[in-house]
Amino acid sequence: MKNLVLLLFLVTSFVAKSQLGGRATYQFLNLMSSPRQAAMGGKVITNYDYDPDSAIYNPANINYKMDNQLAVNYVNYLSDINYGTASYAYMWDRRTQVFHAGVTYINYGNFDGRDENGNATGNFGGNEAALSLGYAVNVPNTNFHVGANFKLITSTLAEYSSAGIALDIGTTYNFEEWDLNAAVVVRNLGTQLTPYVDTYENLPLEIDAGISQILPNVPIRWHLTFENLQLWNIAFENESRSTTDLDGNVTEEKIGFLDNVVRHTIIGIELFPRGGFNLRLGYNFRRSEELRLINQRSFAGISAGFGIKINKMRFNYAYARYNGAAASSFFGIGIDLQ
């Protein structure tokens, strides 16, 4: 059981969710789904275009432009943790019936097992995976699209295993005349079918909203995303940021209304969004606040990347900065199978 406690701690803390961490199991479900998403801050839900990866996070983005598009991504995350995603969309008939399938897989690496006395008990590891099947429809006579992903989840942590099911529900508003997209998604509505031991745990419910637009006469799409709207107070007072005056009086860090608003916010831009070469840049305010170091510039929260299209293939790369000692590279390839 000691081994499981250690691994569960790593699972719920490596994504740096502060107060959000430890509230639910299967935290990997809310990891970034692609280099494109990672480059623009981590949670872009308004990409209503050819990219099948966008439907992993918001099923309402499933559309006919994704037909026969395959995407595969890999991330060397933190330490020995590796994860990847794959997605594919298929149009059953002209512009009306598009189905989507996605896979997310994570491997936590190997750990040295010890008992309560420090004696070696052998190595152990952990991995988790989710298979999603999605579908979306256009609300008749409107610009609204509604979609859902049904997910089957499996998890193995040391000698313990668990299985679960979940549902994502999203809606996207696509106003082509203004090149404007707006979206809301509710993710991970579900339950464990079998717990690790005896206790059934909650799934990592998340509600996100976003808006994006291509600027008139300028080849830039800006993105504004508000994450974790299901929980208003996601900030925490960091004791290391307390100050002490000459009289020994301690002033604790105070988290105000605007501090919380900012920590729900992610901004991103994509240069040449419809071209064969794209540049992307993002900033995640919560990541920056939670992982920045005192009196040291670490560039936490910044991410950047690019995409290149060559014939029927797209290559994507992103770099996300967490702090001075941790960063991740995201690699992806998209293939047009038509």
Percent of the chain residues past pLDDT 70, beyond the cut: 85
Spatial neighbors of 121 by CB under 8 A, at least 6 apart, are 3, 113, 114, 115
> Both tokens of residue 22?
């430890």
pLDDT at 80 > cutoff 70: yes
Q: What are the residue boundaries of the structural domains of the chain, listed by start?
A: 2-336
Per-residue pLDDT at 252: 63
Is 327 within 8 Å of 320 (Cβ atoms)?
A: yes
Is 26 within 8 Å of 15 (Cβ atoms)?
A: no
Per-residue pLDDT at 158: 86
Which residue has 């020994």 as its token pair?
A: 248
If one compares 10 and 323, the residue with the highest pLDDT of the two is 323
Q: Which amino acid is at 91?
A: M
Per-residue pLDDT at 290: 79
Q: What is the mean pLDDT of residues 159-168?
A: 95
Question: What is the spatial distance between Cα 332 and Cα 318, in angstroms, rounded to a whole number?
Answer: 9
Question: What is the spatial distance between Cα 321 and Cα 302, in angstroms, rounded to a whole number?
Answer: 6
Per-residue pLDDT at 110: 86
- Band of pLDDT at residue 300, cut at 50, 70 and 90: confident
**This model's pTM is above 0.75:** yes
Is 260 within 8 Å of 232 (Cβ atoms)?
A: yes
Is 170 within 8 Å of 45 (Cβ atoms)?
A: yes
- Band of pLDDT at residue 249, cut at 50, 70 and 90: low
Number of DSSP helices (H) and strands (E) in the chain, helices first: 5, 16
Per-residue pLDDT at 112: 81
> Both tokens of residue 207?
């509600």
Per-residue pLDDT at 316: 97
Identify the CATH class of 2-336. Answer: mainly beta
Is 20 within 8 Å of 10 (Cβ atoms)?
A: no
pLDDT digits (tens, 9 = 90+) for 129-140: 999 999 999 999
Which residue has 């005192």 as its token pair?
A: 294
∠ CA 33-35-40, nearest 5°, is 95
> Both tokens of residue 94?
């002209």
Is 177 within 8 Å of 154 (Cβ atoms)?
A: no
Burial status of residue 65 (CB atoms within 10 A of its CB: 0-12, 13-18, 19 or more): middle
pLDDT digits (tens, 9 = 90+) for 174-217: 999 999 999 999 999 999 999 999 899 999 999 999 999 999 98
Spatial neighbors of 252 by CB under 8 A, at least 6 apart, are 237, 239, 242
Q: What is the mean pLDDT of residues 79-101?
A: 88
Dihedral over alpha carbons 240, 245, 248, 253 (to 10 degrees): -30
> Both tokens of residue 73?
């991504």
Is 32 within 8 Å of 43 (Cβ atoms)?
A: yes
pLDDT digits (tens, 9 = 90+) for 44-54: 999 999 999 99
pLDDT at 72 > cutoff 90: yes
Is 3 within 8 Å of 285 (Cβ atoms)?
A: no
